[in-house]
Amino acid sequence: MCGILAILQSKESPSDLRKRALLLSARLRHRGPDWSGIYTDDGCVLTHERLAIVDLENGAQPLFNEDSTIALTVNGEIYNHKALREQLVKSGHIFKTNSDCEPILHLYEEKGDDFVDMLSGDFAFVVYDSKTKSYLAARDPIGVVPLYIGWGKDGSVWFSSEMKSLVDDCEKLQPFPPGHYYSSKSQSFVKYYQPSWKTEQPLTQSEKEVLPILRKAFEEAVVSRMMSDVPYGVLLSGGLDSSLVASIVSRHAEKRIEDNEKTRAWWPRIHSFCIGLKDAPDLKAAREVSEYLGTVHHEYHFTVQEGIDAIPDVIRHLETYDVTTIRASTPMYFLSRKIKAMGVKMVLSGEGSDEIFGGYLYFHNAPDALEFHEECKRRIDALHSFDCLRANKSTAAWGVEVRVPFLDKQFLQTAMSVDSSHKVCHDAEGKKRMEKYILRKAFETGVNERPYLPDSVLWRQKEQFSDGVGYSWIDGLKDYAEREITDEVFAQRETVFPEDTPTTKEAYLYRKIFESIYPTKQAQGTVAHWIPTWGASQDPSGRAQKVHLQTTI
């Protein structure tokens, strides 16, 4: 992932504005260490910190249209760029690069603001038209890619991949809402992503009808995200979601996705990566999957103390103090550093499945299929504040890009149209069954087919990432917070933090560290909290749910 910064409608002098933008853009350089770019016009500046994944030679940004009157800075990948490119060439447009993002420029030329829903990908971008002094900013449908918007005292409008480039200069800021664009023409947000699954009830289909459709849609989503001109790998926890991603990648790795699998891949060996405390449940399961798939597997360990030492840095990068996000992000932050050291710049991961299929253990408490479906929708709508934020910022901290096929727009349409009776944690007779049943069933294979995964993995119970890396990780964090935050200090929590008051010592500790880095009220206002529902334990750990299979680790 790259880092973008845009300042529009500024009244600052061009020279001072450029200097300020360069300093603030440098705060994003961890996201894109490969190159820096800048474009300026009267009252406008666009910057770009590049992580080069596609078209290494010519894809530096900002990108420009044919006569260089329209500029674009973008973070993300457009997976249907070839189809869009073909359409635009027929319309007479001339492309300067092979960048997957360049079609955005020409779509803007063709259609103005009304084109964003044509894009299939994960993105945040700003387009600036120097002829009309107008601009358009947009974020992908689910918020896989981070974007913030801020407003300066001089009436300027700011956009940035991370809050840290806005917080010192904007009197107001907020996360940019996923599935929206913001146009200078209206000076307001417009919701472009309005899929039918958000308003219509799921289709009534038999299990037999659903399985092949689901399987095909997910395989297509994974393959589209293998687009890369650099070495890539897979995050492999050994759980269902990451293992399915790894399995599909391994089936297509020998041919180059970029030319529709006509030629041999540049890097045919798939590298898989896992991290945990020694003897963590994820490590053992990941080894089993790797051995089955034949990946080049890399297993890393960390200690509780190393994790505790890293928490201030993790919070600085995440820009949140949410408990479950910090618990899960710390091992991912460590793993991303190891991945970068291997020379790998892009990884595929399994985020989003639990929201789509009700995979969290508290979903066993759902009162009925309708509420189950509604909770899935609520969780998907909140992904940009939690799993997407964690995955993107933990990896981008070390200049690694993460791709999440479960959140592919077309796959979401397919999966969220599945009758919720196939997703709930019991069958028609009320007999208990494992969470994400329909997804597991979709990847069960016939007698003569090579299974995607061993049954021991395909039917392994959900372990939330912060648990799977080793149960003593969360226990160690709680013990550390207990020592650091005295009873006397904690008793004053409502006085110290009258808004969004921490309810545990662990939460107090993270809030304290966050405010030492981002001390403004507007920064605090960007933070959301991940809490289970339906009377489940309010501790976000999956182990806190009664249905979890207790083991000693």
Which positions make up the binding site?
Answer: 100, 235, 275, 349-350
- H, E, C per residue of 95-107: CCCCCCCCHHHHH
What residue numbers does the annotated binding site for L-glutamine cover?
100
CA atoms within a 13 Å half-sphere pointing along the CA-CB vector of 368? 1
Nearest-angstrom CA–CA distance, 250 and 263: 16
| Burial class of residue 14, CB neighbours in 10 A (0-12, 13-18, 19+) | middle
Nearest-angstrom CA–CA distance, 97 and 101: 9
- Does an H or E element contain 129, and which? strand 121-129
Beta strand extents in 397-511 (DSSP E only): 401-403
One-letter amino acid at 230 equals V
Place of tokens 């990780």: 473
What residue numbers does the annotated binding site for ATP cover?
235, 275, 349-350
CA torsion through residues 543, 544, 550, 553, sign: positive
- Residue 273, beta-bridge partner list: 235, 298
Which has the closest alpha carbon to 348: 249, 258, 443? 249
Measured CA to CA in angstroms, residue 362 lies from 77, 111, 225, 419, 536 at distances of 33, 45, 30, 20, 6
For 356, phi then psi, to 5°, come to -75, -40
Query: Beta 296-301 vs 271-276: how paired, if at all?
Result: parallel
What are the residue numbers of the active site? 2
Task: Please check whether residue 240 is in contact with residue 455, taking contact to mean a CB–CB distance below 8 angstroms.
Answer: no
Please, what's the b/e burial string for 491-500 (b: 16 or more CB within 10 A of its CB; e: otherwise)? eebeeebeee
Task: Please check whether residue 73 is in contact with residue 125, taking contact to mean a CB–CB distance below 8 angstroms.
Answer: yes
Q: Can you tell me whether residue 369 is helix, strand or coil?
A: helix
Cis amide linkage into residue 268, ω under 30° from 0: no
Cβ of 296: how many Cβ atoms within 10 Å? 12
Q: Can you tell me whether residue 418 is helix, strand or coil?
A: coil
